Chains A and B, each alone.
Chain A
Amino acid sequence: MSTSTVPLKLEPVATVVSRTPFQNALRRFTRHRSAQVGMAILGFLILVAIFAPVLAPYDPIKPIREAKRRSPPCVHVLGCASDKPQYVFGIDSNQRDLLSRIIYGSRLSLEIGVSTVSFAIIIGVILGAVSGYVGGWTDNIIMRFMDVLLAFPSLLLAIAIVAVLGPGLINALIAIAFVSIPVYARLMRASVLQVKDQDFVSASRALGSSPIGILVSHVLPNALTPLIVQATLGIASAILDAAALSFLGLGAPPPTPEWGLMLGEERNSVFNAPYLVFIPGIAIMLTVLAFNLLGDGLRDALDPRQVNVK
């Protein structure tokens, strides 16, 4: 029996485009309907924040002496008489232009969201990494402390911390950041634990890599996905918490154009100048919505289960 040694020539039937997992995720993300909406809103917000001095018609803090207090919105394009000065969102109780304050407030909100979450992530990641890697008593103590922090509803713990530190924007930010740390610590720790006992890690150690090297090259990429998703959602809730603290008078002091503070100051006006309450609230809602949608999109795009599902 002679075996044919002619190699089989296999013709490719179809071309398969190979993509890295990252490219796959990006594709899913950009196709995700909610993420698209979120990105659009966020893009708009970032532009507004960057170009605030150009876009805002008036100074957000100095009162406009000629304006009548609490004038309703006057937009010439929408029918307001052209001899009256244009105040797109109206004037607040201290003769300041609401549109300008909202525009500058976007800067503040983005700064608040990013700074609190950055601070919380840095500390949380360090704590989580140490906890997961070292294990033992250190792990226990750190995680119990995280449990205790999580035992308080986050806004209330933030309020209690502000009560200690005193009202003020920086103190409010510290409080909110502090309260957000446990989530990131837990995430990081879970990722470290996932990777810690695998063979390639032991191999790496045997080859002489330091723990930090392992952390950076193996653990972080693994942890990055949930961290990013959580961070996006974290920015959303940080903005809400900061607005809540300012609303209660425990956060940004007057005359800062912070949206929550604007709501708090004009709380009274809801019955005779409702636009002063309605508009800052919409601003907060749109910003938070953008981050929430973004986070949802990221979660769906990066969810490992979805890799196999069409």
Chain B
Amino acid sequence: MKRNLYVLLSLLVLASVVTACGGGAAATEAPAATEAPAMTEAPTEAPAATEAPATEAPAAYDGMKTEAPNCDYGGEFKSIEAVDQYTVKFSLCAPDPAFLSKVAFAAFAIQDADYLNETGGDTAKINEAPNGTGPYVLKEWVRGDHITFEANPNYWGTAPTIQTLIFRWSAEPAQRLLELQSGTVDAVFAPAFEDFETIQADSNLALIPYDSPNVMYLGMNNTIPPFDKPEVRQAIAMAINKQQIVDLFYPPGSSVADQFTPPSITPGHSTSGDGAKWYDYDPAAAKELLAQAGFPDGFETTFSFRDVTRIYVTRQPQVAQEIQAQLAEIGVKINITPMESGAFLESVAAGEQAFFMLGWGMDYPDATNFYDFHFAGGVPRFGDEWPDIVEEIRAGAQLSDPAERQTHYDQVNALIKEHVPMIPVAHGAAADVFSASVGNVKIGALNENFQEMTTDDGQLVWIQSGEPISLFCGDETDGETFRACLQLYDSLLAYEFGGTKAVPALAESWEANEDATEWTFTLRQGVKFHNGADLDANDVVATYSALWDAKNANHKGNSGAFEYLVGFFGQFLNAPQ
């Protein structure tokens, strides 16, 4: 009887699988193949939109142009136009003195227009065969293990002295250092500062500190109770003993953060006014404020952070527990919730996290990179933005005179202190460690000069803290990802090695009009993409359009957030309502 039952059951299962197979094949969408997908979105509101640039000199160049009908949509770009084969003109809605710095950023790496159309701007497809103009070509990406880059034989610049560049990753600084000490890697990102003494005592290793303006902050979302009450936010602000955190968990050379921007960012950092100094550490007053706000016995909340080390915090779990202990003293109980890095960043950007620890390493040396991105960028990181803060930030972003800008930023800092969207905690000192046998090492806040370094065998193995999320950086925000992109791609400009000044890259020269609202770039000629295509102005326009225009056929990316486009340049064209 039992046997028959089983036979019956098994036949039933088989039958259901077979029918599901037949029916399922029609219903599910199998993972797409790699031919060009058919896109059905409407074309952009552009007068002329053909792609194939003519390369014969006598025929007129069929340049692309993407244009906003007016400047009311809330963004900075008015139009991006390929004036001729090697000239691109950006027209802005408002003056932007930091424009050159922004354009040099890794998120705006130039893609080949045809390749963009082929892949539809889809990160998953671009990952399989990234196509850039950079000093390295992707040899292989063994997921979870390593990425191997090989020198680009057709690179437009100086040939790289490192032939094979390998990126590995490990979330544990101690493990990274051990690999270096064992000789399995040549360079390590952000070793644990407890090991600085060991490193300095070892003549085979070289500790390389570098100046990197950054800030670690505790963010609070003003749409999620109880952080919707300003008294609660102020109370938390007074209950954090920042000096203790810096003393215990930060490397020598780090400092307590009194404001959001570090002291080296001027105009931006205030030396006078209400916003120059933060609230004093006063747990008693904090408890009183909480009682006033209706929480005499404190409250409970989640506290999330990402599971990777960054320059602004290398000991996240321990810092989190320290904060937990400090807040316990005023009755606030936090539940520590570590999250995976990519998911965390997305969740924060979506405004889902009530209380979280995050930080910011400078992308380019201007206050707009700090303030605009975080407090006027249209991202609900801290909940609803404060209109008064936004106004002052926008004012400061459009002036050129540093003194005038500073008056606005002083206001911004004062308002930030009043509204407390976040609590700045520390500015972390940064250092990497290299094997002493690696030569010509120049580490800056924004990049590392891998292509100029020298090793005995022309191979360099670098170990960082996390795996790059993708190799299409238009829709990424993570520093480890950008570092990988920097090897494969170029932007119009680049940051000089060992410094932060913007220098020519794909653009040889540029001019701006008087009020910094029109920027015209002249492209380098003879630059080839890895797939052999030539660089011309349409590639630049296509790249920016894919990021900027929400209705562009290639506006796909990874999650579609394109945070840096929004953060740097305000808003999408044709943004969905």
**Contacts from A to B (Cβ < 8 Å):** 61-63, 69-70, 93-95, 140, 167, 249, 253-255, 265, 267-272
Residues of B within 8 A of A62 (CB): 325
A254 close to B325 (CB less than 8 A): no
Given contacts A267-B172, A268-B172, contact A254 B194 (CB under 8 A): no
Name the one of A94, A140, A272 contacting B318, with C-beta atoms under 8 angstroms: A94
B195 interfacial contact with A, CB 8 Å: yes
A93 close to B174 (CB less than 8 A): no
A93 close to B325 (CB less than 8 A): no
Given contacts A93-B318, A254-B317, contact A272 B336 (CB under 8 A): no
Name the one of B173, B194, B322, B325 contacting A70, with C-beta atoms under 8 angstroms: B194
Name the one of A94, A140, A272 contacting B322, with C-beta atoms under 8 angstroms: A94
Cα-based distance from A140 to B195 in the complex (angstroms): 61
Cα-based distance from A259 to B185 in the complex (angstroms): 33
B338 close to A268 (CB less than 8 A): no
Q: 10 closest Cβ contacts across the A-B interface?
A: A268-B174, A268-B172, A94-B321, A93-B318, A271-B174, A254-B336, A254-B321, A63-B325, A94-B318, A255-B321
Given contacts A63-B325, A272-B194, contact A253 B335 (CB under 8 A): yes
Q: Tell me the chain B residues, 318-342 only, with Cβ under 8 Å from chain A.
A: 318, 320-322, 324-325, 335-338
Cβ contacts B74-91/A at 8 Å (1 or 0 each): 000000000000000000
Given contacts A94-B321, A254-B324, contact A269 B5 (CB under 8 A): no
Cα-based distance from A70 to B337 in the complex (angstroms): 24
B48 smallest CB distance to A (angstroms): 51
Cβ contacts B1-29/A at 8 Å (1 or 0 each): 01001000000000000000000000000
B71 interfacial contact with A, CB 8 Å: no
B175 interfacial contact with A, CB 8 Å: yes
A107 smallest CB distance to B (angstroms): 20
B334 smallest CB distance to A (angstroms): 10
22 A-B residue pairs with Cβ-Cβ distance under 8 Å, sorted by A, are A62-B325, A63-B322, A63-B325, A93-B318, A94-B322, A94-B325, A95-B248, A140-B5, A167-B337, A249-B338, A253-B335, A253-B337, A254-B321, A254-B324, A254-B336, A255-B321, A255-B324, A265-B318, A268-B174, A269-B174, A271-B178, A272-B198
B367 interfacial contact with A, CB 8 Å: no
B192 close to A268 (CB less than 8 A): yes
B524 interfacial contact with A, CB 8 Å: no
Can you add 8 more A-B contacts, CB < 8 Å, to A94-B318, A255-B321?
A61-B325, A69-B248, A95-B248, A167-B337, A253-B337, A254-B317, A267-B172, A268-B172
**Nearest A-chain residue to B319, judged by Cβ:** A94
Residues of A within 8 A of B177 (CB): 271
Cα-based distance from A274 to B173 in the complex (angstroms): 15
Cα-based distance from A268 to B177 in the complex (angstroms): 11
B321 smallest CB distance to A (angstroms): 5
**Nearest A-chain residue to B248, judged by Cβ:** A69
**Nearest A-chain residue to B173, judged by Cβ:** A268
A242 smallest CB distance to B (angstroms): 18
Given contacts A93-B318, A94-B318, contact A268 B175 (CB under 8 A): yes
**Nearest A-chain residue to B172, judged by Cβ:** A268
Cα-based distance from A45 to B240 in the complex (angstroms): 38
Cα-based distance from A20 to B192 in the complex (angstroms): 65
Q: Tell me the chain B residues, 324-377 only, with Cβ under 8 Å from chain A.
A: 324-325, 335-338
Cα-based distance from A246 to B320 in the complex (angstroms): 17
Residues of A within 8 A of B198 (CB): 272
B277 interfacial contact with A, CB 8 Å: no
Residues of A within 8 A of B335 (CB): 253
Cα-based distance from A255 to B324 in the complex (angstroms): 8
Cα-based distance from A267 to B318 in the complex (angstroms): 12
Cα-based distance from A280 to B117 in the complex (angstroms): 56
B315 interfacial contact with A, CB 8 Å: yes
Cα-based distance from A272 to B197 in the complex (angstroms): 12
